[in-house]
């Protein structure tokens, strides 16, 4: 992206601090290499080493109980149960270890300026914090409200102040006042989660979008590795990634948007051929598409956002590049189970 565009992005970043405008979507793919990072240096805050919280272990009442299982031919399998809560929000159950990603569960997504943008979910409108299963970890990819949703996180933190949190350092000023047990990962750094059931999942941060000038720290994507069978899941909610950073990585499951969301002259969310190349780069076996642009939205901004591409056009592009890969479309609120080698 040229200097003029970078200057524009930096201006948006400055305005965002005054208006809470959703400029997390004005994306600039990171241009650095993996050597830029210091994998051994972690920013870690842990005031209380003992997590004494106990969530309800019952199935959330707002979730549909049916599950679709996709099974590989391998004899050693990891179980990934992926529940899409619309927008950028997910619950992932990896061998019984439960991760809540980018939750928006209280109110709408409006960035504090509903006249400009105000979005509500279509299908899981009644899902509340009280409907959550027993969560082992909260995962935050980006620092702005469509990922780090303060209307949700403030009451969530009061209910569960000791929950394990993994997040981008860009969100430290927002999360540190709320949570006692936060690990901030730079791209290239990693840590491990251990569930209450004893299962472990490795988490490595990857480079996501840069929200400002090119020297600014990028937001995060994540690679999750199940310790039981070493199966992997990759997640980045805007389909923005650094090819050089990911070229040595592999992922059995890729969760990504596939339909682009565009403003005039600006890409909010990528997809289509970029999602195909991401899946090819990671040698994905399963692609789980996000529909994070399909919210009930209103306001000035929503009237000029347009979609580019369809699920069908993505599948056609993918079939030419990775004919053996499977596209598994999640139904909001319904756990999608993948048994991966």
Q: What is the mean pLDDT of the chain?
A: 81
Q: Is 99:231 a contact under the CB 8 Å cutoff?
A: no
CB atoms within 10 A of CB 310: 12
* pLDDT at residue 215 in the model: 81
Q: Which residue has the higher pLDDT, 241 or 111?
A: 241
Q: In the block, which residue shows the tokens 């109110």?
A: 107
* Interatomic CA distance for residues 96 and 73, integer angstroms: 21
Q: Express as a percent the part of the chain with pLDDT over 90.
A: 61
pLDDT in tens, 206-225: 999 988 788 889 999 999 99
Comparison of pLDDT for 114 and 202, the residue scoring more: 202
Residues near 265 by beta carbon (within 8 Å), at least 6 away in sequence: none
Is the per-residue pLDDT at 183 higher than 60?
yes
Q: Grade residue 111 by pLDDT with cuts at 50, 70 and 90.
A: confident
Residue where the block lists tokens 């430290």: 172
Q: CB-based contacts of 17: which residues, under 8 Å, 6+ apart?
A: none
What string of DSSP letters covers 196-264? TTS-EEEEEEEE--B-SSTTSPP-EEEEEEETTT--EEEE-TT----HHHHTT---SEEEEE-SEEEET
Q: What is residue 179's predicted lDDT score, i.e. its pLDDT?
A: 96
- Give tens-digit pLDDT for 278-326: 999 999 999 999 998 888 888 888 888 898 999 999 999 999 999 999 9
pTM value > 0.95: no
> Which two three-digit tokens encode residue 51?
């997590």
Q: Is 41 exposed, middle or buried (0-12, 13-18, 19+ CB in 10 A)?
A: exposed
* 13 pLDDT tier (thresholds 50, 70, 90): very low
Instruction: Tell whether the model's pLDDT for residue 67 goes beyond 90.
Output: no
Domains of the chain: 3-32+66-340 (3.60.15.10)
pLDDT at 152 over 60: yes
């Amino acid at each position: 992206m040229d200097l003029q565009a970078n200057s524009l992005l930096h201006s948006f970043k400055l305005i965002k601090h005054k208006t809470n405008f959703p400029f997390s979507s004005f994306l600039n793919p990171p241009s650095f290499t993996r050597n830029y990072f210091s994998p051994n240096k972690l920013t870690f805050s842990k005031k209380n080493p003992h997590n004494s919280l106990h969530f309800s272990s019952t199935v959330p009442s707002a979730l549909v109980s049916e599950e679709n299982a996709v099974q590989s031919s391998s004899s050693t399998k990891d179980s990934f149960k992926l529940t899409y809560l619309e927008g950028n929000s997910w619950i992932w159950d990896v061998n019984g270890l439960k991760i809540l990603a980018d939750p928006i569960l209280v109110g709408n997504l409006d960035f504090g300026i509903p006249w400009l943008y105000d979005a509500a979910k279509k299908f899981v409108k009644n899902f509340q914090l009280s409907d959550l299963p027993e969560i082992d970890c909260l995962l935050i990819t980006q620092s702005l409200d469509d990922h780090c949703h303060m209307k949700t996180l403030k009451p969530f933190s009061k209910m569960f102040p000791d929950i394990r949190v993994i997040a981008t350092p860009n969100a430290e000023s927002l999360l540190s006042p709320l949570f006692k047990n936060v690990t901030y990962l730079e791209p290239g750094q990693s840590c491990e989660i251990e569930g209450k059931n004893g299962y472990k999942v490795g988490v490595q941060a990857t480079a996501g979008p840069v929200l400002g000038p090119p020297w600014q720290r990028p937001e995060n994507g994540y690679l999750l590795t199940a310790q039981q069978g070493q199966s992997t899941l990759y997640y980045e909610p805007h389909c923005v990634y650094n090819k050089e950073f990911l070229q040595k990585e592999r992922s059995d499951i890729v969760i990504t948007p596939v339909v682009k969301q565009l403003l005039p002259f600006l890409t909010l969310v990528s997809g289509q051929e970029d999602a195909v190349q991401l899946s090819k780069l990671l040698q994905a076996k399963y692609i789980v598409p996000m529909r994070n642009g399909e919210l009930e939205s209103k306001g000035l901004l929503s009237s000029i956002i347009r979609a580019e591409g369809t699920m069908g056009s993505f599948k056609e592009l993918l079939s030419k590049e990775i004919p053996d890969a499977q596209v598994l479309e999640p139904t909001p609120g319904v756990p999608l189970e993948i048994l991966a080698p």
